[in-house]
Structures are given as C-alpha cells and as structure tokens.
Structure 1
Amino acid sequence: MRFKGLDLNLLVALDAMLEERNISRAAERLFLTQSAMSNALSRLREHFNDKLLLQSGRSLELTPRAQMLAGAVKDVLMRIDSTITTAPEFIPAESNRTFRLYVSEYTTEVLMPHLLQLCWAESQSIGFELLPQIEDPERMLASGEADLLVFPTPYVDAVNPSEPLYDDDYVCVVWEGNRNVGAELTLEQYLETPHVIVTRPNHQKTMFEGWFLERYGVARNVGVITSNLAAPCKLVIGTGRIATVHSRIAKRAAETLPIRLLPPPLDIPPIQQAMQWHEYRDNDPGLQWLLGKVRQAATMMDQRLG
C-alpha cells in the first residue's frame, strides 16, 4: 500500500529502527533479515531526503528530521492498528486474544487474582501477559505494547483516558512475639527500630521512602532491604524489626503468618491506584470488556478483604 509515493510498510520498519536505534535489533523485531532492513532504510532515506539514522560509536543517532518523525509515525501506526485490526464485537467465550497489562508487583498480588478469576468464568481461551513496570508507561501505551496500565494516580498522564480504581493505606507489621512493641507504636520507637524496607531492583527509593525523607528529614533505620513487595511480612518474623506495608498485602499475610498489624505512629498519605488505556482504544469492544472486569475485580477485592 502506498501513500503519496511512500510504501506504508516502510513506516513499520522506520518505527522499529527509530525505537531500537539498531538495524539488527529492528530486523529481529520484525522477523526480517538485516539486509532487508538496510534496504528499507535506504528507501526511507531516499523518500525523506534525509539520513534519518547516523552512526555514532556502536549505536545510531536520530537526525533532527527523524526525531520529528518518531512521534508522528508511532501515532499513525497506532491509529491504523486500533481502527483496522479491532473486531466490531467481542465475544469472550470465542476469543483467544491475549491482553497485555502493565502492572506492579503490588497490583499483581492484590488485584490480578480477582481479575483472572472473573475472566476465567467467561472465557478459558483469553490469555494475559502481566508486564513488569520497568519501562516508560506512556511509551508502552503509545507503541501498543500494553493494552492497559494499572499504577498510582501520580503517574497517570493527562492525554489518555484513565479511571481511579481503589485506595490503600499503610500499616506497621511486627512479629507477634515481639515484646518490645505493645499495642501501639510510638514515633520514637518507629524511628529507632530497624526496618525491613522494599526498594526497586535499581535501588531507587519508593514513593513512600521519598515522602518519609521529605516529611521528616531523616531516613528510617534500615535493617533489611528487599525488592520483593510481599517479603517484609515474613522477614520481621523472629526479630524485633518493623515493616511498613500496604494494608491489603499485610491483611492477607496476617491470615497465615505469626504477625501483628499496628497503626503507624505518623500520618502516612494513602495511595490511589488507577487504570489507563490509549485514547485510540476507546472503541475497542475487547478492551471495554476488560475494563469492566477490572472494575468488578476491584469491588470483589474490597468485599473479600472487608
């Protein structure tokens, strides 16, 4: 298919090259040979009368023209995908579609089991891919790599549709055999006692750590660091340490672990989770079905927790 002299198939190749900035990786991504991708680049350079990609050491750098094209090309491909490939109706029991959700470990722990249960009741052929939150969420939506994002509202962009899902607060978790802590924690105890904390894999501070440092001007007394969100409830057992954990995770853990849950001795702001999808997918009946199931899952989660 051609538009004003340009083979539109070349836009797919251009998008891959602009994103990967590597001919070999772009070729692998599109299941093409490296020579075929190089030929596509030559044709694109001729059409746009611009080098588009320039060698810089071991990587390729985008020319100013390529930088201008990147967003437009992505937008065109997203529009085509959402308009042409979307079926006019969605019948869950007859679908073998795989939904790609960009979710945190927290969301996977507390919400996803309920969502998968609800969806299974209507279709055993629909699949799900739960993507870790280690990439740029806006890019994941714009590229079509993710159908839906579920993350804290501060990260929601102002361009695409979004909807709040549920709130959560924090509790302090201690081992039930910890005799240094009574029915209440004092702020002095909280600041002095070693903590089990969670950091991201790259050791960046979590939202809570950043807020705590900004609010009190001091870091917590850290005794154990883990990247596993569900681990702190287990790691305080047999010790005098404290963990500050999302209430939903802590309450589930308290059903099977020898731990006590205590209110924090400080006013910690709650977090709100939201879901977001690309504006071009608003008329996708399959996605609308999924959004409805996510809403039901959030309600089910609250009912079972309460």
Structure 2
Amino acid sequence: MSNISKISANYQVDCWNNLSAMLDAAVAAGKILSNPCKSRSVSSPTRITRLITPWSERKFQAIEAALPDRCRIGVTLGGGLGLRVGEIHAFSPDFIDRERMTYRFARQINSRTGPLQFKLPKGHKERQIPISEGVLQRIGAYMHRYTPVTVTLPWAEQDGQEFMTVRLLLTTETNSAWWFNGWAAKVWKPAFATAGEPYEDQVDGTHALRHLYASHMLTQGVNIKELASFLGHTDEAFTLRKYVHLMPTSHDRARAAADAMFPPGSNSAQGKPVRRRQSPTSKNRPSGTSRRVAGRPLRPHTAGH
C-alpha cells in the first residue's frame, strides 16, 4: 500500500487495528466466522518507530528568537508546559491557578479539517499541569504587550452546547484564533529560514517543543507516571516507550553506591588490608581469658581440641 499511496505506514497500522477491532466485534456477534485480519496468509502493516531527538539549546534559542514577537509566546507554552499546537492556540490565562502554580487544560482548537472549533482535549481528558515561575513571568510580560482576545467558536462535542467563548492568549494580528495550516506556513516554517536552520518534516514541527519539554522533565527527575499525566497520555506505557531512551542513566548513582562500600583513597586501594574494628566486648581482652554466652562461661580455645 505504501508503494501506491501517500498514506503513512503508521496511519496504515491505525486503520488496520480499527478494522480488526470491528471484525472482532462481528465475530463475537456471530456475523462472521473469523477475523481475516488475523489470518496467517494476510500480512499486517508495520509501524515505523523513530527515536525522538530533542532540539539542542542552541537550536531552541535560535528558533525562538526568529519568531515574530507576537508569536514567540508559543515557544513558552509548548516548551514550558508540553502543549500540542492546538492546545497552544487554545491557551487561556483565565485557567491559571497562581496559588497552586498549575494550569488547568480543558480544551483545544481543532483547525485541521472543517471550520475552527473548540473541543475537549485529546482523549476527552482534562489535566492539571505544573506551571513554573519563569513561565508565569513570560506570560505576564506578554500580556502587557498583547491583551488576551475573547474568541467565540463552535463547540465540537455532542453535549448540547453549541458555542464556547474563551479569552485566548495567542491570536493573529486580526485578533482571531490561529488555523493550524496558517500557523505552520506563516509563522513556524519561516522562522527556520530566518534562523538559518534546515526544516525537516515530521521532526521540526511545533510538536518538537513538546518533546523538548518531556526530555527536560525526565532530566530533572520527573517520573514517567507524572510525565504521562502532564502530557495527557492515557497510557503510561506509551509515554515510557516514546521517551525511555531520553531517561538519564543510573550509572552515577551506581558508582556512588559502590564508592560507599569501597571509598576511594582507602587503605585497600594501596593494597593494604583494611583493619576491622573490634567489638566493644572483645576490645582489650587479654589473650586466653574466657567470655560468657547466655550466662555460661566459655573455655578458651586451646590447640588439639
């Protein structure tokens, strides 16, 4: 299929899994005898897995500096909170809890197909994300230059609500919400040309900021369970598979543990035996004297016995 279409291998896998699940349901309902997707004579598509390589600090700073000032806050939201591009565009300062230092993420903007819409986060799951003082300061400074804009869009969920009104932090120069394609074509990709950086599809999109966030969280000791929650992943195993190669190794901790048992610079390092400390009961006891065990004297050991 890859040879005759432009459908990516990973999307083929998703379609195959969905089809197989429907056929399993048909088998359970007695509509068909077996699931042909599970036949040995049928080859299923294979997912292509790429190891994520986070941007370097130099590249991150170069792209941020190359963005227009009005759009630069998108780097802070993506790299500082781990948001997807639709989540960046739907960010509202009204959902920041400054006492708890968290941001409640409750919506995204769907702009890839059809009209602009607000909708629930991916997986229909709200999440709380820790927000740092540095990120708050950047947001505050940005709001002094660009006032948040109140935007009303259709509500995509089938729950009886037709529209939703939200104060958005990041909008266009005409005070409207960003389309995904417009952001990529007019803002994101031109920043690479301005910075003199090559742009690679599937690697350098705005989503790269999310990977940068994940790598920094792992470096600072955030565990996989917490990171999955911050990123909005429903499966911690998925987060582990995606970012396990970015986790810091335990080599330094292992060396420290060994050094605690065998301290560097000790006598044994020069080939000299390490003297064992005598117990308080045996210290300075004259040779040949007896000792007591459970109230009964023991005879001193003599040769030949």
Q: TM-score, normalised by structure 1?
A: 0.21
Structure possessing the higher relative contact order (Cα contacts under 8 Å, 6 or more residues apart): 1
Q: Which has the higher strand share?
A: 1
